[in-house]
Structure 1
């Protein structure tokens, strides 16, 4: 599956450079990052909607 030498990354890390990712690894990481971003966005919308729903009419019943 992986034709790269695992010692390559260790040597590169010791030298101070970042380990190189294959295009497949980069594609998978990007997919995970997008999924995490979507989930966080949906949670923010859910919390906002729950807050508005819990306040309900009470938002309008305040002294001006």
Structure 2
């Protein structure tokens, strides 16, 4: 049981924080999906760093 009643601004801020959190999570999922598509494509190959050193 809360000692003080929650102020109205905290309710609005909570909703805004949820929106920002959802957008951040969607951005992370988008970057992860793009990375997975690029890595699993047939044309992907890691750069040959040993050939550059010789």
Tell me the TM-score range normalised by the shorter chain: 0.5 to 0.7
* Alpha-carbon distance in 2 for matches of 1:57, 1:31: 41
Paired residues, what number? Answer: 42
| TM-score, with length taken from structure 2 | 0.63
| TM-score, with length taken from structure 1 | 0.55
* Alpha-carbon distance in 2 for matches of 1:20, 1:33: 21
CA RMSD of aligned residues (A): 1.7
Matches within 5 A, 1:37-48: 37-48=22-33
Name structure 1 gaps, 5 residues minimum. 1-16, 59-64
> RCO higher in 1 or 2 (8 Å CA, sep ≥ 6)?
1
After TM superposition, which residue ranges in structure 1, 4 or more long, deviate above 6 angstroms? none
Name structure 2 gaps, 5 residues minimum. 44-54
